[in-house]
Amino acid sequence: MIMALNQNGLKIYASTISLLPLVVLVSCVFLYLASIFLFKDPNCSSSELLHYSSRSTTPQFSDDSSPTNLSHLVFGLLGSEEAWHFRKDYIESWWRPNKTRGYLFLDVAPKGDDLLPWSSSSPPYRVSDNITQLLEESKHVAPVMARMVHGIMEVFREDHEGVRWVVMGDDDSIFFVDNMVDVLARYDHTKYYYLGAQSEFIMSNHWYSFNQAFGGAGFILSYPLAKAMSKYIETCLRKYPFLRSADQITMVCISDVGVTFTPLKGSHQIDLRGDISGLLSSHPKAPLMSLHHLDATDSIFPSIERQQSVRHLMKAANLDQSRMLQQVICYNRPTNWSFSISWGYSVHIYENILPRSHLQLPIETFQPWGVTPKDPPYYMLNTRSRTNDSCQAPHIFFMKNVEKTKTSSEILTTYSRSSPRELLSCSYTGNYSADYISMIQVYSPRTKRIEMDRCECCDVIHKKGTNKATITLRECRVDEIIA
């Protein structure tokens, strides 16, 4: 009898063991359904939960650990056929055929003898998708803006193999691609990043958002974010049909993905009017990545036509982008002069020894982009006013020429006076007039500046009575004080 009981017990035990996987499976399904109906997020439907639960939470990317280079960037430039006739020179000034990846997206196919046949110096073009049905169904209030946002999906669809960063810009955006590569190499492209620039005009940020990138300066999406956005764009456009700004729509959509904005000091929207030389002559200590709206400002070189000015600036950029607009300040004690160099653009001479912190402030040569508030502040940066004080007003020189030296170990940039200052000399005891200086030569190393933790220093060579000053850039010595 005991043996029979033992045999029955073994049968029951074996039967229980055989049912155990089924019990576990049923329990898991019950707990999963309970998590949906009892604890679901009110903003997320059960279908969405089922959809996202089927995905891996860890994106799968290439294990390529090679340094970031230009081939890892793809550019999506948004423009119109009408504007491209007079804006293509801006893009061709920096585009590198067969090296730069990307497309220009036009609203309609190009036409006209000045555009066809299509120039090999321009990016290849695509005609933007017809999203009329989406616009009608959503009753979107800004069809042109929606087309621009939709471009994120279109450029990713066209070219994403081996891409690490998707760069979106306008048809008048000027990019400094070597600097972009160097800056982006500091970030992990397998993470979610939304990089770009705020507007310089404080009210533009107030009207739209302080937490958005302004597209003319170029906003940059890491691969996983660009991939997520390419899948979400059309849903997002339907979700926010009442938004009128492409940049704001983009920011809101990216926010829905769970990513926030990271500003870059070297990207410039240029929401300014008039003479922007004051801004360009006091660039922040960050690699120059972009400029925008140059067809809405004065020519950046006063004696050169606007579009040719951009090509003139790119002559220096083609030899050394790492130093472009980087401000270097030094002093000539025998004459009591302060020199402020914006490499590849301008040199200022002040007939006074002025603190470096003062010279770093841009001279407010420009005006606000839009409706000016009654009271300051107007800008997202500190500025200093123009003045007729001869001890505070600079003698201004603009880049005339750039070349490699015969030894090829240095680059020589030459700057010539833009116009007479037409002020008396500074009256401080011991100060000398700089009116007779007509040319400044600046020698810089050909080696790229990789570390930006500290500015460069410089030495001034000038013989009294001569019309030329020579400046040599160098790395600052340990514990050297620039004052």
Under-50 pLDDT residues of the chain: 1-26, 28-62
pLDDT of residue 10: 38
Q: Where are the alpha helices (DSSP H) in 40-129?
A: 46-53, 81-92
Provide the pLDDT for residue 88: 96
Q: What is the pLDDT of residue 370?
A: 83
User: What does the pLDDT read at residue 119?
Assistant: 97
- Residue 395 confidence (pLDDT): 97
- Do 280 and 345 touch, CB atoms closer than 8 A? yes
Distance CA 449, CA 438 (A): 29
SS (H, E, C) 278-339: HHHCCCCCCCCCEECCCCCECCCCCCCCHHHHHHHHHHHHCCCCCCCCCEEEEEECCCCEEE
Judge whether 201 and 378 are in contact, CB under 8 Å.
yes
Instruction: Write out the H or E segment, with its range, that includes residue 406.
Output: none
Give the tokens for residue 21.
């996987």
Q: What is the pLDDT of residue 391?
A: 95
Assess contact for 59 and 224: CB atoms under 8 A: yes
Residue/partner pairs of 133-140 with CB below 8 Å, 24 or more apart: 134/234, 134/237, 134/238, 137/238, 138/237, 138/238, 138/241, 139/241, 140/237, 140/241
Q: What length is written for the chain?
A: 483
List of domains in the chain: 70-263 (3.90.550.50), 321-475 (2.70.130.10)
Which regions of 141-285 does DSSP assign to beta strands (E)? 165-170, 174-175, 194-196, 219-222, 261-263, 272-274
CA distance 322 to 285: 11
Contact 71, 152 (CB under 8 A): no
User: Alpha helix locations (H) across 166-207?
Assistant: 177-184, 202-207
| pLDDT for the residue numbered 429 | 63
Q: Are 72 and 189 in contact (CB under 8 A)?
A: yes
Question: Angle at CA 170, nearest 5°, toward 166 and 173?
Answer: 95
d(CA 312, CA 139): 45
